[in-house]
């Protein structure tokens, strides 16, 4: 997952679906500052192509990013200022050797962890990177009761050099979402296809809340307009 083929079309496809990374990052910064008005540093965990981080860096005096995929990290490095440090690492066990006023993990990245111990480890790792009173914002994947088994989505996106069709089919396999996504990309060089299979875990709201509490970051669950899956917003004890 998240190799060079997907990184090349990732933002184009999701922008065609109405995703606005800049607006989401601005709203996330507002949530942080509502709870910690003096917040001046942020770590974006699973920062992807840096689309959120680019805007977050404009709201905070210091911003850094963490990403597991080399292909996505390359995109982030190409778009961001050298003043924004980027780290390749796994959200379950990373250690940057410093703390931040805020940590964010957006666009359901935490859902890609395969089981509850991994999710709890990731929450604990993020909490360890917060200073006392710091704010943690996490966007989950769907809760089990809200997942639509057999859901199909289709999108068509174009820019000045290519057209991309995306079709996805999501099924439930126990506690796992199996989302098969097929892409058809047409440009001056011809037409090519590739398939991604994403596996995301259907953690419950209670499991998330317990993970935050046990990590020393009691959380509340919010339903802002810009994400149908909601947000957990936590404060470090």
Q: What is the model's pTM?
A: 0.97
Q: Which listed CATH number (2.20.130.10, 3.40.190.10, 3.40.50.1970, 3.30.390.50) goes with 145-201?
A: 2.20.130.10
CA distance 127 to 142: 22
Fold adopted by 4-143+203-235:
Rossmann fold (3.40.50)
- Separate counts of helices (H) and strands (E) for the chain: 6, 11
CA distance 228 to 139: 10
Separation in Å, CA 209 to CA 28, 69, 135: 19, 27, 15
The label of the residue with tokens 């947000």 reads: 231
**Ranges for all domains in the chain classified under CATH 3.40.50.150:** 4-143+203-235
Residue 133 contacts residue 99 (beta carbons within 8 Å): no
Q: Mind giving me the DSSP string for 139-203?
A: -----GGG--TTEEEEEEEE-SSEEEEEEEEEEEETTEEEEEEEEEEEETTEEEEEEEEEEEE--
What pLDDT tens digit does each residue of the chain (237 aa) get?
799 999 999 999 999 999 999 999 999 999 999 999 999 999 999 999 999 999 999 999 999 999 999 999 999 999 999 999 999 999 999 999 999 999 999 999 999 999 999 999 999 999 999 999 999 999 999 999 999 999 999 999 999 999 999 999 999 999 999 999 999 999 999 999 999 999 999 999 999 999 999 999 999 999 999 999 999 999 999
Which one-letter DSSP state was computed for residue 84?
Answer: S
């Amino acid at each position: 997952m998240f190799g060079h083929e997907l990184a090349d079309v990732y933002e184009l496809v999701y922008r065609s679906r109405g995703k606005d990374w800049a607006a989401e990052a601005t709203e996330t910064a507002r949530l942080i500052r509502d709870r910690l008005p003096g917040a001046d540093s942020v770590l974006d965990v699973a920062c992807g192509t840096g689309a959120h981080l680019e805007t977050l860096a404009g709201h905070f005096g210091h911003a850094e990013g963490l990403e597991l995929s080399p292909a996505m990290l390359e995109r982030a490095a190409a778009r961001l200022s050298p003043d924004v440090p980027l780290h390749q690492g796994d959200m379950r066990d990373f250690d940057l050797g410093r703390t931040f006023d805020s940590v964010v993990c957006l666009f359901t990245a935490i859902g890609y962890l395969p089981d509850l111990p991994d999710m709890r480890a990731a929450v604990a790792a993020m909490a360890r990177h917060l200073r006392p009173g710091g704010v943690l914002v996490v966007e989950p994947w769907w809760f089990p009761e809200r997942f639509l088994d057999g859901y199909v989505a289709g999108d068509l996106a174009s820019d000045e050099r290519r057209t991309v069709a995306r079709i996805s089919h999501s099924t439930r396999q126990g506690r796992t979402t199996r989302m098969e996504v097929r892409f058809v990309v047409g440009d001056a060089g011809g037409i090519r296809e590739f398939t991604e299979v994403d596996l995301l875990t259907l953690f419950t709201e209670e499991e998330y809340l317990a993970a935050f509490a046990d990590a020393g970051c009691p959380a509340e669950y919010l339903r802002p307009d810009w994400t149908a899956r909601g947000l957990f917003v936590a404060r470090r004890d």
